[in-house]
Amino acid sequence: MTDLSSKPPGHKRWATFLYGRPGLRLALLLAIPVVWLVGVYGGSLASLLVQSFYRLNPFSGTLERVFSFDTWAAVFTDANVAVMIRTVTMAAAVTVASVVIAFPLAYYMARYATSRMKALLVLAVLVPLWSSYLVRVYSWKLILAADGIINWFVERIGADAVLQALLDAPGIGGPSLSISIFGQFVVFTYIWLPYMVLPIHASLERVPRSLLEASADLGAQPATTFRKVTWPMAIPGVAAGSIFTFSLTLGDYIIPTIIGDSSPFIGLAIYTQQGVAGNLPLAAAFSFVPIAVMTVYLTVARRFGAFEAL
Amino acid sequence: MRKAGWGLKTAAALTLLFLHIPILFVFLYAFTTDEASFRFPPPGYTTEWFSLAFSRTDIRAAVSLSLRVALVATMVALVLGTLVAAAVWRTRFFGRNALSLFIILPIALPGIITGIALRSAINLAEISFSFWTLVVGHATFCVAITYNNVIARMRRTSPNILEASMDLGARGWQTFRHVLFPQLAPAMLVGAMLAFALSFDEIIVTTFTAGNQQTLPIWIFSSLVRPRNRPVTNVVAVFVVLITLVPIILAQRYSRRSDEA
């Protein structure tokens, strides 16, 4: 009888070879992705930091590759701080509105929808989340236009005065709906809403029915059950959704370009600096503002259990 | 189970309508005879803008560029995402958590950060804008999608099936071809379809990596900023909605079916 155990098979068994060498296997798997992600993407983020310490020559406007704090000082002018405050306020308003609008749908999906219905509703929320961001923004240009459907409808029901009062309101108004802050707010909310529905739905799914029954059995009114049981358990989902609505509003420049009175937001300021103004260092430095805001936001959201609900 | 109250039903229905009605106006306006304004209701209906849009060479070139970028970026992202998922699946190694964070970062940070970072690197390295700068930008955020889909599938796959396959004498390639790949294929397909849809209408990262090339979203955006030939823009918008809708619906149906199986 021949001893097979000590004799390697004739052909190379590279799978067996690699199986005994997890380190090598890992290196082969990761070599290209790591070069791409850490090299290209990580390198790009690092170059952003480097770029922010370069400056434009104040007289010739040409890029000077010397280390300086001039660009960073230019980020925190009064005008730019106003831009930051406006953006963060809008992000907060959009987040609150998204929670209010998303909650009933998420609640219905989690508690009452049959499984077939639920699949359909999830699809109905996913499609706008994944598709045609730009076209969805554009659709509001048609709706809010001066001769568009809203004005047509308002005229029909004779509510011109109400609309005019809204447009005259300081801080949220404007000459017409499509160039008003209010219009901008509606579009932001519309665009990011799906990002709020899904996490709230996911966290409400995890509320056991028995818990709600127990609360009712112990004599709580439906409103009390909602306030003391359902809402606290939905908070991680709300926090997770708010990460998206907040972060996406902070960086967006498409909506402020198409809708609104073209007063700058952080995203728009970055975009303008790198494009029209040709000041890439300032754009780079400015882009650390949303990163800083989001870092703070994520730290807070984490405390509310947002990461477990993502 | 108790029935939902009418208040809740109404509120849920209104939210759904709010999510879906606006896009219908893009379809409506693609047929209006009104060339200069957004008049509602449209004064008349026509299909002439469709043939006009299809005959425009600039639109065709933009569609072709967007399709090519989306295809190549999706393939790159699929390979990279699957490789990382395979590495993260069964092994613990130094930097594993950092790596999975790094993959998510391009979609977790606002798009403009990824865009401006790539723009800054392109500028510092003095690379000129090309098809490939677009592909690099798109693949970078698409990896997050393909990785997430593949790793989710792997977590539900027992590594024992690989050992069983090898114990039964299958070679490495055979194990991959007949055991592992059939397990992962649905997730890879779903990831690829979603990545394609995301890439095809992406505008923010695209703007920063395109130079003066025109993808379809850039074409739309520039015709919104400087309104010109509105009817044609409406037709192109309809086209973008339809082409991104298909992979998303397919992906959703396919992932549901493979979950049930």
Coil, strand or helix at A73: helix
Q: pLDDT tier at A13 (50, 70, 90 boundaries)?
A: low
CB pairs under 8 A between A and B: 252
Q: Is the pLDDT of residue A65 over 90?
A: no
Of A136, A271, A291, the CB nearest to B109: A291
For residues B55-75, average pLDDT: 94
Closest residue to B112, CB basis, from A11, A50, A271: A271
Residue A56, SS3? strand
How far apart CA A258 and CA A271 sit, in angstroms, is 14
Query: B144: number of CA atoms within 13 Å, CB side?
Result: 17
CB contact under 8 A, A41 and B240: no
Neighboring chain B residues of A11 at a CB cutoff of 8 Å: 171
pLDDT recorded at residue B2: 64
Confidence of residue B258 (pLDDT cuts 50, 70, 90): low
Answer whether residue A10 shows pLDDT above 50.
Answer: no
Look at residue A23 in the predicted model and tell me its pLDDT.
Answer: 79
Distance CA(A188)–CA(A254), nearest Å, equals: 10
Judge: B12–A257 Cβ closer than 8 Å, yes or no: no
Answer with the residue of higher pLDDT: B3 or B153: B153
Tens of pLDDT along B126-169?
Answer: 899 999 999 999 999 999 999 989 988 888 888 888 888 888 88
Q: How many helices (H) and strands (E) does chain A have?
A: 17, 2
Q: 10 Å Cβ neighbour count for A160?
A: 11
pLDDT of residue B209: 93
- Interface contact flag, A274 B256, Cβ < 8 Å: no
**Measured on CA atoms in the order A87, A91, A92, A96, is the torsion positive or negative?**
positive
pLDDT at B176: 82
Give the least confident one: A4-18, A165-179, B177-191.
Answer: A4-18
Mutate to test the interface with B, among A132, A192, A257, A302 (most CBs of B within 10 A): A132
pLDDT in tens, A229-264: 899 999 999 999 998 899 899 989 999 999 988 788
pLDDT higher than threshold 60 for residue A129: yes
By mean pLDDT, which of A122-131, B170-179, B236-245 is the weakest?
B170-179
ipTM, two decimals: 0.87
Q: How far apart are CA B94 and CA B145, in angstroms?
A: 23
Determine the pLDDT at residue A63.
Answer: 79
Q: Is A248 on the interface with B (CB under 8 A)?
A: yes
Higher pLDDT: A13 or B10? It is: B10
Interface test with A, best of B112, B177, B201, B214 (most A CBs within 10 A): B112
Mean pLDDT score of chain B: 88
Prior bond of B43 cis (ω within 30°): no
Q: Report, in angstroms and rounded to the nearest whole number, the Rg of chain A calculated over CA atoms.
A: 27
Interface of A with B in 128-157 (CB under 8 A): 128, 130-136, 138-143, 145, 147-149, 152
Residues of B in Cβ contact (< 8 Å) with A254: 203-204, 221
User: Does residue B193 surpass a pLDDT of 50?
Assistant: yes
Q: Has residue B78 got a pLDDT over 60?
A: yes
Q: Residue B183: CA atoms inside 13 Å, Cβ hemisphere, count?
A: 20
The tens digit of pLDDT for each residue in B111-129 reads 899 999 998 899 888 899 9
Q: What value does the mean pLDDT take over residues B94-98?
A: 79
Q: What is the mean pLDDT of chain A?
A: 86
